[in-house]
Amino acid sequence: SRQRLKRLKNSEAKTQCGRRIELMANIELPEDVSSVVDVGADGVGLFRSEFLFMNRKEWPSEDEQFEAYRKVIKAMKGKPVTVRTLDLGADKTLQFDSANSPPASSNSALGLRSIRFSLSEPAIFLTQIRALLRASKYGPVKVLLPMLTNLQETQQALTYIDMAREQLLERRFQLGEPVPVGGMVEVPAVALSMPYFLKYLDFVSIGTNDLIQYVLAVDRVDHQVAHLYDPLHPAILRLVYEVIQAANKAQASVSVCGEMAGDIRLTRLLLGMGLTQYSMHPAQLLDVKELLLKTDFDATQKLVKRIVRGFDPDKIEQVMRELLEE
């Protein structure tokens, strides 16, 4: 009912025992931010900036991007906005051909896409970063790097971010503190080597949509193999758990921004793994909040402890049943 929604919108996201949980929202276009404000989210946890580049005929300029980012930042009134840099390629393609658009390849999910593409086209990447840094004057912004695979890419991206800052200072823009830079954990190699990446990144966000695709070798958009796309596969749960634990141990901020974060059947499982930041489609946020409000953190942790040694599928099934009880 309307009243229930209003009550939920205005109540803080926390567990029954009072532990504060951050519930943030994912957006694709600046105008989506109104639905984020409507549900009282704690921030934008994932702004999929590539949608500013899709369904149009040319690259957006620095000024146009700046206006788009500023609009979202201002609408969030001091709550953090995490903007993911261009994640083009595979399921997210441009509508125009230009000398510097991501090339066709025989296996586009594994090709020159996402951060790999940005690093191969520094002018496009630098333009986006300058727009973001300029917009950071209007509220707290974080930069999120998609599809990182190795440390050189991470360092290279950080170098370009410094370079963009220098360029703006040369143009006499007033800039505040450097913005936090984080990385998506969506390539298995990163999930398996967290401590090294955490040396360079201020935060991480687990992209379970691609992580599942890459770990299970299942194309996320191919309906013929949709039945194999299983978030509860022991390998997925092990990786998600280990990434959360590694980040918590390093006292680094970690969120989940893939579809798993907005699935109420998985809310308690993730909480029990130690997750305290979720980012999801705005339409899912109040249901997740409602469930958290009647969830005991310690009880959930205890239940999840029973599966984390071996991730035995039978135990996973049994624990899932117990987590889903009222």
Give the footprint of Mg ion on this chain (CB under 5 A).
Answer: 186, 207, 210
Supply the minimum distance, in Å, between the C-beta of residue 187 and ligand PEP. 10
Closest CA to 312 of 248, 233, 241, 242: 233
Q: Which stretch binds ligand PEP (CB under 6 A): 31-39, 201-209, 225-233, 280-288?
A: 201-209
Taking CB within 5 to 8 Å according to partner kind, which of Mg ion, ligand PEP, none is near residue 257? ligand PEP
Residue 254: alpha-carbon gap to chain centroid: 9
**How big is the chain by its Cα radius of gyration, in Å?**
20
Quick one: 259 or 297, whose CB is closer to ligand PEP? Answer: 259
Check binding of 40 to ligand PEP (CB under 6 A).
no
Binding flags for ligand PEP, 118-157, as an x/- string (CB under 6 A) = ----------------------------------------
Check binding of 258 to ligand PEP (CB under 6 A).
yes
Check binding of 210 to ligand PEP (CB under 6 A).
yes
Closest CA to 139 of 182, 179, 171, 172: 179
Give me the amino acid identity at 292: L
Supply the minimum distance, in Å, between the C-beta of residue 177 and Mg ion. 28
- Report CA torsion sign: 91, 97, 103, 106: positive
Supply the minimum distance, in Å, between the C-beta of residue 207 and Mg ion. 4
Supply the minimum distance, in Å, between the C-beta of residue 123 and ligand PEP. 23
Which residue number has the CB closest to Mg ion?
Answer: 210
Task: Please state, in angstroms and rounded to a whole number, the distance separating the CA atoms of residues 73 and 9.
Answer: 20
Task: Please state, in angstroms and rounded to a whole number, the distance separating the CA atoms of residues 78 and 112.
Answer: 35
Q: Which of 209, 245, 248, 301 binds ligand PEP (CB under 6 A)?
A: 209
CB 84 within 8 A of CB 184: yes
Task: Please state, in angstroms and rounded to a whole number, the distance separating the CA atoms of residues 116 and 83.
Answer: 17
Task: Please state, in angstroms and rounded to a whole number, the distance separating the CA atoms of residues 314 and 66.
Answer: 50
Residue with tokens 């300058």: 130
Check binding of 183 to ligand PEP (CB under 6 A).
no
Residue with tokens 């995490």: 82
Both tokens assigned to 255:
């969120």
Check binding of 79 to ligand PEP (CB under 6 A).
no
Q: Which of 207, 231, 272, 282 binds ligand PEP (CB under 6 A)?
A: 207
Q: Which of 124, 237, 257, 266 binds ligand PEP (CB under 6 A)?
A: 257
Residues making contact with ligand PEP (CB under 6 A): 46, 48, 87, 186, 207-210, 257-258
